[in-house]
């Protein structure tokens, strides 16, 4: 039986949060954001291994977080690339297809991924080669032109806000990154977009959670402290 792998992308610099450190190394409820994120995969019964793709300038700190957290499933810590797509390719390329069947690629900046989301992705991967996780938008989303006039109001029923983890049968995402490199495709902001751009497989969507935020701006840190409290009190029903 092949193993399920999680690749956690922590290779960014966190420029939008304007912190003293890349955001994955900032503290939330007494631990780093990276610690909280790794813990979600470490404690999931069906994730066998974790690769951590980190910012090379913070390799020592990353190794220390893994060691102090006692994270036994983290079997590789790799230097990331200049873009998220590069970091993802580096992680995926380091995964041997003889060992791993499914891979979940996750942003280190999303510490609130739930066990249910991981369960749902793994279940979907039995029948689909690529699985995205997304939530409906409570706001109407409009498309604008260069002059800031509304060009189009797409039907909200068909719009979703994409999160991570995104799940793949390893062979498919490996092929996507190989082709992207070969064809100089460098602008994919997430891995499912790469699959779609290259027309490699249909991408199925499962329902995410409004709590599964990506910590991006300074205000998100305050929001994240609140979500930690909600997680602790197991009151997720109020969201
Ligand atoms: N990421 C990565 N390698 C990069 C860029 C991003 O592994 N070269 C990771 C980030 O560490 C993050 C995830 O991809 O966990 C999502 O990216 P984003 O939220 O954009 O993080 P940053 O690029 O670090 O932040 P910013 O865009 O504000 O600089
Ligand atoms: Mg970024």
Read off the pLDDT of residues 97-115 as tens digits, 9 standing for 90 and up: 999 999 999 999 999 999 9
Q: b/e string for 23-42 if b means 16 or more Cβ within 10 A?
A: bbbbebeebbbbbbbbebbb
Is the minimum distance from the CB of 80 to ligand 1 under 6 angstroms? yes
Which pLDDT score is estimated for 233? 85
Please name the residue whose Cα sits nearest to atom 1 of ligand 1. 12
Over residues 38-52, mean pLDDT = 98
Q: With pLDDT > 90 as the criterion, what percentage of the chain qualifies?
A: 95
Which pLDDT score is estimated for 119? 98
Q: What is the DSSP string of 123-162?
A: HHTTT-SEEEEEEE-SS---EE-TTS-EEE---GGG-EEE
From 8, 11, 12, 194, give the residue whose CB has the most ligand 1 atoms within 8 Å, as the site to mutate: 12
Is the minimum distance from the CB of 91 to ligand 1 under 6 angstroms? no
Q: b/e string for 69-98 if b means 16 or more Cβ within 10 A?
A: bebebbeebbebbeebbbbbbbbbeebeee
Token pair belonging to 190: 């997430």
What whole-number distance in Å separates Cα of residue 12 and Cα of residue 64? 18
Task: Tell me, in angstroms, the distance from the centre of ligand 1 to residue 1's CA.
Answer: 33
The answer to whether residue 237 scores a pLDDT higher than 60 is: no
Residue 17 banded pLDDT, cuts 50, 70, 90: very high
Which pLDDT score is estimated for 238? 46
Task: Tell me, in angstroms, the distance from the centre of ligand 1 to residue 37's CA.
Answer: 14
Label residue 139 exposed, middle or buried (CB < 10 Å: 0-12, 13-18, 19+).
Answer: exposed
Mean pLDDT of the chain: 96
Ligand 1 atom with the shortest distance to the CA of 9? 7
Read off the pLDDT of residues 210-236 as tens digits, 9 standing for 90 and up: 999 999 999 999 999 999 999 988 655
Task: Tell me, in angstroms, the distance from the centre of ligand 1 to residue 134's CA.
Answer: 18
Is the minimum distance from the CB of 89 to ligand 1 under 6 angstroms? no
**25 neighbors 121 (Cβ within 8 angstroms):** no
C-alpha torsion sign, points 222, 104, 158, 127: negative
Ligand 1 atom with the shortest distance to the CA of 88? 7
Ligand nearest to the CA of 105: 1
Flag whether the pTM goes above 0.85: yes
Over residues 87-103, mean pLDDT = 98
Which pLDDT score is estimated for 224? 98
Over residues 120-130, mean pLDDT = 98
Torsion of CA 121, 55, 213, 139, to 10 degrees: -100
Is 237 in a helix, a strand, or coil? helix
Is 108 in a helix, a strand, or coil? coil
Residues making up the chain, counted from first to last: 239
Label residue 2 exposed, middle or buried (CB < 10 Å: 0-12, 13-18, 19+).
Answer: middle
Which pLDDT score is estimated for 235? 55
Task: Tell me, in angstroms, the distance from the centre of ligand 2 to residue 15's CA.
Answer: 7
Is 87 in a helix, a strand, or coil? helix
Task: Tell me, in angstroms, the distance from the centre of ligand 1 to residue 225's CA.
Answer: 20
Over residues 26-49, mean pLDDT = 97
From 38, 77, 109, 162, give the residue whose CB has the most ligand 1 atoms within 8 Å, as the site to mutate: 109
Question: Residues with Cβ < 8 Å from 120, sequence gap 6 or more?
Answer: 133, 206, 207
Over residues 198-208, mean pLDDT = 97
The residue that leads in pLDDT, 233 or 197, is 197
Over residues 139-161, mean pLDDT = 96
Q: With pLDDT > 70 as the criterion, what percentage of the chain qualifies?
A: 97
Largest CA distance in the chain: 55
The answer to whether residue 138 scores a pLDDT higher than 80 is: yes
Is 181 in a helix, a strand, or coil? helix
Over residues 164-179, mean pLDDT = 98
What whole-number distance in Å separates Cα of residue 227 and Cα of residue 75? 29
């Amino acid at each position: 039986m092949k193993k399920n792998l999680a690749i956690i992308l922590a290779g960014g610099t966190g420029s939008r949060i304007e912190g003293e450190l890349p955001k994955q190394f900032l503290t939330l409820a007494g631990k780093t954001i990276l610690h909280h994120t790794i813990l979600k995969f470490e404690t999931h019964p069906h994730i066998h291994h974790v690769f951590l793709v980190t910012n090379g300038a913070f390799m020592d700190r990353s190794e220390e977080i893994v060691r102090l957290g006692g994270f036994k499933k983290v079997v590789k810590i790799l230097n990331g690339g200049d873009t998220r797509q590069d970091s993802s390719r580096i992680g995926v390329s380091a995964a041997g297809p003889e060992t791993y069947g499914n891979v979940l690629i996750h942003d280190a900046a999303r510490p609130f991924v739930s066990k249910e989301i991981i369960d749902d992705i793994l279940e979907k991967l039995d029948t689909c080669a690529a699985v995205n996780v997304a939530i409906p938008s409570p706001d109407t989303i409009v498309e604008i032109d260069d002059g800031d006039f509304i060009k189009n109001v797409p039907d909200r029923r068909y719009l979703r806000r994409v999160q991570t983890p995104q799940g793949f049968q390893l062979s498919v995402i490996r092929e996507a990154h190989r082709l992207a490199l070969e064809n100089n495709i460098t602008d994919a902001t997430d891995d499912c977009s790469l699959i779609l751009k290259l027309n490699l497989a249909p991408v199925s969507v499962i329902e995410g959670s409004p709590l599964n935020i990506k910590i991006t701006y300074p205000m998100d840190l305050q929001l994240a402290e609140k979500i930690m409290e909600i997680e602790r009190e197991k009151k997720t029903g109020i969201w």
